[in-house]
């Protein structure tokens, strides 16, 4: 009989027993912070509803047409007619869901075609599609780095990377953000014969800054480490073929694994890992977040495959997105806002707010004036900063970027921070 199951002849547990600890008490601080903020009349910045989505750059929010500048929809593929049509066709032909794991009944022709599109996009031997990018990190990291191995990672890594480390049994060794020397120092101290995995991101999404991948990958290789790069925020945009910072830095052939997501430039949902490792396919049998979950619906993999194939020919869109990024960065700096990077390095521009109160007030002023951005606050942010994170889209017109700057100016003056 399983332990922990209450048998019928055992007494029922007594409800409300004195001394019971409310497991929710650990959230009291964040509940108080949230209630304090809302008590000032502030609109909840984490509860916005998109009442109608008009295009990749416009939606109706609170009954008002709003410019979207916080969607990570970098290449604007969500309303691409070919992408939408592929999804409709797959829905009609294959139904609404697979109801199964990839290793049982959940691999359809569409999943294979999506993996084929990824192999072509990255020019790599293997591609494995997960149900989200979060699960791709969780699965690959926890499976390849085991007991006795070491993971060396940037302290500002995404939550899914940290959770992948927590799920596995490797020793986790963080180093200061984007600091090549700090990374080398850590690697030097690790036993020479131990398995090592260095984890980096191409673009760090909080500040929109890029990793010095050329130098970092060289250091990792010097110490015999395998390298995994999460390119969630660069796929489709950075690099000649949109393969990410690894391509731009000329190190794509030196990295062992690239992790990515369909929830940003690809414009749908899902995650993946591509690799040239000769034994990579065994991951399909040993990676728990791949095996023990249902696969993506046919309509989703069909939209993803179509989108990925179109992104292979996206150089005009990439050029326009760079123009948008440069124009917004310069415009915000000229208005007097403090930004996360000196120069635009990606499609993310972070506007640094003095504190949470003013950040939340500015967020509210922007939304009331017709602009949506992401509010990011501690503890998710580096150095406990409050940020208004702007992510540009290749479908934002030059005129829209001008409107965005006008709204920032108006709102900043209303709040009194410029």
Ligand X SMILES: Cc1ncc(COP(=O)(O)O)c(C=O)c1O
- Contact residues: ligand X, CB under 6 A: 132-134, 137, 158, 160, 201, 205, 230, 232, 261, 263, 271
Provide the minimum distance between the beta carbon of 188 and ligand X in the complex, in angstroms, as a whole number. 27
From the CB of residue 289, how many other CB atoms can be counted at a distance below 10 Å?
A: 22
Q: Which residues contact 85 (CB under 8 A, 6 or more apart)?
A: none
> What does each C-alpha distance from 98 to 3, 24, 127, 295 come to in angstroms?
34, 36, 20, 7
As a whole number of angstroms, the distance between CA 32 and CA 14 comes to 30
Nearer to ligand X, 348 or 407 (CB): 348
> What does each C-alpha distance from 180 to 153, 168, 207, 214, 336 come to in angstroms?
11, 25, 18, 10, 31
Strands (E), 85-190: 126-130, 150-154, 171-175
How many angstroms from the chain centroid is the CA of residue 126? 22
Provide the minimum distance between the beta carbon of 26 and ligand X in the complex, in angstroms, as a whole number. 24
Among residues 325, 273, 11, 319, the alpha carbon closest in space to that of 136 is found at 273
Nearer to ligand X, 136 or 217 (CB): 136
Nearer to ligand X, 73 or 369 (CB): 73
Beta strand pairing call for 126-130 and 150-154:
unpaired
As a whole number of angstroms, the distance between CA 332 and CA 345 comes to 15
Provide the minimum distance between the beta carbon of 162 and ligand X in the complex, in angstroms, as a whole number. 11
Beta strand pairing call for 196-201 and 226-230:
parallel
Nearer to ligand X, 237 or 408 (CB): 237
Provide the minimum distance between the beta carbon of 136 and ligand X in the complex, in angstroms, as a whole number. 7
Provide the minimum distance between the beta carbon of 370 and ligand X in the complex, in angstroms, as a whole number. 25
Nearer to ligand X, 289 or 331 (CB): 289
Nearer to ligand X, 133 or 174 (CB): 133
Inter-residue contact 30 to 365 (CB < 8 Å): no
Nearer to ligand X, 71 or 306 (CB): 71
Provide the minimum distance between the beta carbon of 17 and ligand X in the complex, in angstroms, as a whole number. 39
Nearer to ligand X, 134 or 290 (CB): 134
Which residue of the chain is nearest ligand X when measured via CB?
133
Provide the minimum distance between the beta carbon of 130 and ligand X in the complex, in angstroms, as a whole number. 8
Among residues 75, 121, 146, 109, the alpha carbon closest in space to that of 258 is found at 121
Provide the minimum distance between the beta carbon of 261 and ligand X in the complex, in angstroms, as a whole number. 3
Provide the minimum distance between the beta carbon of 269 and ligand X in the complex, in angstroms, as a whole number. 6
Among residues 102, 99, 152, 158, the alpha carbon closest in space to that of 134 is found at 158
> What does each C-alpha distance from 335 to 30, 269, 411 come to in angstroms?
33, 36, 11
Nearer to ligand X, 249 or 417 (CB): 249
As a whole number of angstroms, the distance between CA 255 and CA 122 comes to 12
């Amino acid at each position: 009989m399983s332990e922990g199951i209450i048998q019928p002849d055992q007494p029922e547990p007594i409800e409300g027993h004195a001394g019971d600890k409310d497991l929710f008490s650990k959230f009291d601080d964040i509940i108080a912070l949230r209630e304090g903020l809302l008590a000032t009349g502030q609109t909840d910045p984490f509860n916005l509803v998109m009442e109608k989505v008009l295009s990749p750059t416009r939606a109706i929010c609170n009954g008002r047409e709003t410019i979207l500048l916080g969607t990570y929809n970098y290449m604007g593929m969500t309303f691409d007619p070919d992408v939408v049509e592929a999804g409709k066709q797959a829905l009609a032909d294959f139904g609404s869901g697979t109801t199964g794991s990839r290793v049982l009944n959940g691999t359809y022709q569409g999943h294979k075609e999506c993996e084929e599109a990824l192999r072509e996009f990255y020019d790599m031997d293997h591609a494995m599609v997960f149900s989200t990018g979060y699960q791709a990190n969780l699965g690959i990291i926890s499976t390849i780095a085991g007991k006795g191995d070491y993971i060396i990672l940037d302290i500002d890594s995404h939550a899914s990377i940290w959770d992948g480390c927590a799920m596995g049994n490797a020793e986790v060794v963080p180093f200061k953000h984007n600091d090549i020397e700090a990374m080398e120092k850590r690697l030097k101290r690790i036993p020479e014969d131990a398995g090592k995995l260095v984890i980096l991101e191409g673009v760090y999404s909080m500040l929109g800054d890029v990793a010095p991948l050329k130098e970092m990958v060289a250091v990792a290789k010097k110490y015999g480490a395998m390298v995994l790069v999460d390119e969630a925020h660069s796929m489709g945009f950075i690099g000649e073929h949109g393969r990410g910072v690894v391509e731009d830095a000329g190190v794509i052939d030196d990295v062992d694994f690239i992790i990515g997501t369909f929830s940003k430039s690809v414009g749908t949902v899902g995650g993946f890992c591509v690799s040239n490792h000769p034994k990579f396919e065994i991951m399909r049998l040993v990676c728990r977040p791949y095996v023990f979950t249902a696969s993506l619906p046919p309509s989703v993999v069909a939209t993803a495959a179509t989108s990925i194939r179109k992104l292979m020919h996206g150089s005009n869109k990439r050029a326009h997105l760079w123009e948008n990024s440069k124009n917004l960065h310069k415009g915000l700096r000229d208005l007097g806002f403090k930004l996360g990077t000196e120069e635009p390095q990606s499609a993310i521009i972070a506007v640094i707010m003095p504190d949470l109160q003013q950040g939340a007030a500015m967020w509210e002023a922007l939304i009331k004036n017709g602009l949506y951005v992401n509010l990011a606050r501690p503890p998710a942010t580096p150095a406990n900063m409050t940020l208004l994170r702007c992510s540009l889209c290749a479908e934002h017109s030059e005129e829209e970027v001008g409107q965005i700057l006008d709204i920032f100016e108006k709102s900043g003056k209303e709040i009194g921070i410029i």
